[in-house]
Amino acid sequence: MVHQTISSNSTMAPSASSKSKLMNRLLCTVLNCLIVGMLAACGSVPMQGPASRPPIGSTVSKGAWADDTAVLPLPILQAKSRWTAVRWAELPGLGEDPLHEAWNAWLKSCERPGPVFAPLCGEVRRLSIGGPDEQRAWLMTRLQPYRVEALAGGAEGLLTAYFEPVMEASRVPSAGFSVPLYQLPPGLAQRKPWFTRQEIDTLAQAQAALKGREIMFLADPIDALMLQIQGSGRMRITQPDGTQRLVRLAYAGSNDQPYKSVGRWLIDQGALRDASWPSIKAWAAQNPGRVNEMLWSNPRTVFFREESLSDLDAAWGPKGAQGVPLTPGRSIAVDPGSIPYGTPVWLDSSGPMVNLQKLVLAQDTGSAIVGAVRADYFAGWGGAAGELAGRLKQPLRLWVLWPK
């Protein structure tokens, strides 16, 4: 357009016209060079391809994830959650977590991987002997973090904990061991929901269906309730020769009735402010005439199967819903409508009980674990784990780590 404007001005003096033509030729030359240069530059920009895999053994220094500038992918919708892609720098405590502990849980997930993570399991196994910097570099190259949010938009939820109780039990009933634990009753699948907890204790028809299905007996009905809520436990049984044998009772099924919290019932009754297991047991000891009323407030009951517990098995928790043994401190129960089993998850939770910023694996679920940002933290077994499980209830944020 500039060239046309200059050449059309025929009223100008000859000396001005000559200068104008010279300027025109110079401008055209400059413009042509600029255009050619731009085209050459465009041709030199490589097209973005898939992320390359880091060599096994490569590392990344702490803080390197702050330079992550890759284009973020679109959100992913699940049945009960939305995942929003974020930078690695958003994950709190990423440089401080001893990742080899989580790798043990990941190796368990690789025993029964889903189709999304199965292709990565070879690399996961090779990196099991790697250092945390190598493992962190691999995570950043092969996976994309997504913040887990409720479909309505909230990114904060609730963290609780569960554990595997260790209890004294007997094969035969006695005055000291009178609370039965049952196998699955015959015909359970044909009648769902099955009898409530109160009906099991009071109806002749329910008791007839469970006759002969007792696996073992406990001393305390509150312990039996705790075992059913946790889903499994380690039973210490005294043998006829006086020696003790440790076996596991694992979850086999339920009566398909809704779960109701007895702790919530006690709070609503004005009986307790702190509904921890020690408080519940203390209340029961002071109110023996109301124990059944409390127990029956939860209509759900659980049936078990017995499993042997070798020294090797004893190093792990029970099998979760994914079908692999749980790892203390590194396995969580989730709502599978929000997070699929086998997914590595970054967990962040701070509160009066514990501060957690770590990599965990979604390997289990539970009837009370419902919602997008909701997790139950497997604390292990024994007294300390039981104390944590009985009191942990604090805010939670989650990020799933999904293959690129």
- Phi (first) and psi of residue 10, to 5 degrees: -85, -5
Cα 20 from Cα 14, distance rounded (Å): 10
Q: Which conformational region is residue 338 in: left (phi greater than 0), alpha (psi within -120 to 50 degrees), or beta?
A: alpha
Q: Residue 273: what residue type?
A: R
Cα 144 from Cα 88, distance rounded (Å): 8
- Name residue, tokens 């609730």: 158
Instruction: Look at residue 64 in the predicted model and tell me its pLDDT.
Output: 56
Instruction: Look at residue 390 in the predicted model and tell me its pLDDT.
Output: 86
- Phi (first) and psi of residue 169, to 5 degrees: -145, 165
Instruction: Look at residue 67 in the predicted model and tell me its pLDDT.
Output: 55
- Name residue, tokens 């209830």: 393
Query: Are residues 53 and 141 in contact, defined by beta-carbon separation less than 8 angstroms?
Result: yes
Q: Which of 271, 308, 274 is nearest to 293 (CA)?
A: 271
Q: Which residues have C-beta within 8 Å of that of residue 185, sequence separation ≥ 6?
A: 194, 209, 210, 213, 303
Q: Residue 244: beta bridge partners?
A: 238
- Largest pairwise CA distance in the chain: 126
Q: How far is CA 36 from CA 4, 42, 43, 44, 345, in A?
A: 21, 10, 11, 13, 50
Query: Are residues 83 and 148 in contact, defined by beta-carbon separation less than 8 angstroms?
Result: yes
Are β-strands 157-164 and 374-381 bridged in parallel, bridged antiparallel, or unpaired? parallel
Instruction: Look at residue 275 in the predicted model and tell me its pLDDT.
Output: 84
Instruction: Look at residue 192 in the predicted model and tell me its pLDDT.
Output: 84
233-238: strand order across its sheet: 166-169, 233-238, 244-254, 302-308
pLDDT tens for each residue of the chain, 404 residues long: 433 332 333 333 333 333 333 334 433 343 343 333 333 333 333 333 333 444 444 444 555 555 567 799 999 999 999 999 999 999 999 999 999 999 999 999 999 999 999 999 999 999 999 999 999 999 999 999 999 999 998 999 999 999 999 999 999 999 999 999 999 998 888 888 999 999 999 999 999 999 999 999 999 999 999 999 999 999 999 888 888 999 999 999 999 999 999 999 999 999 999 888 889 999 999 999 999 999 999 999 999 999 988 888 889 999 999 999 999 999 999 999 999 999 999 999 999 989 999 999 999 999 889 999 999 999 999 889 999 998 899 999 999 999 99
Instruction: Look at residue 57 in the predicted model and tell me its pLDDT.
Output: 43
Q: Which residues have C-beta within 8 Å of that of residue 397, sequence separation ≥ 6?
A: 147, 148, 155, 156, 157, 347, 348, 349, 373
pTM surpassing 0.75?
yes
- Name residue, tokens 């220094």: 61
Q: Residue 198: what residue type?
A: Q
- Name residue, tokens 């805010």: 395
Instruction: Look at residue 50 in the predicted model and tell me its pLDDT.
Output: 37
- Name residue, tokens 């009566």: 255
Q: Residue 348: what residue type?
A: D
Cα 69 from Cα 311, distance rounded (Å): 48
Instruction: Look at residue 195 in the predicted model and tell me its pLDDT.
Output: 96
Cα 117 from Cα 124, distance rounded (Å): 10
Q: How far is CA 256 from CA 185, 281, 299, 320, in A?
A: 13, 26, 9, 18
CA angle 95, 85, 399 (to 5 degrees): 50
Instruction: Look at residue 65 in the predicted model and tell me its pLDDT.
Output: 56
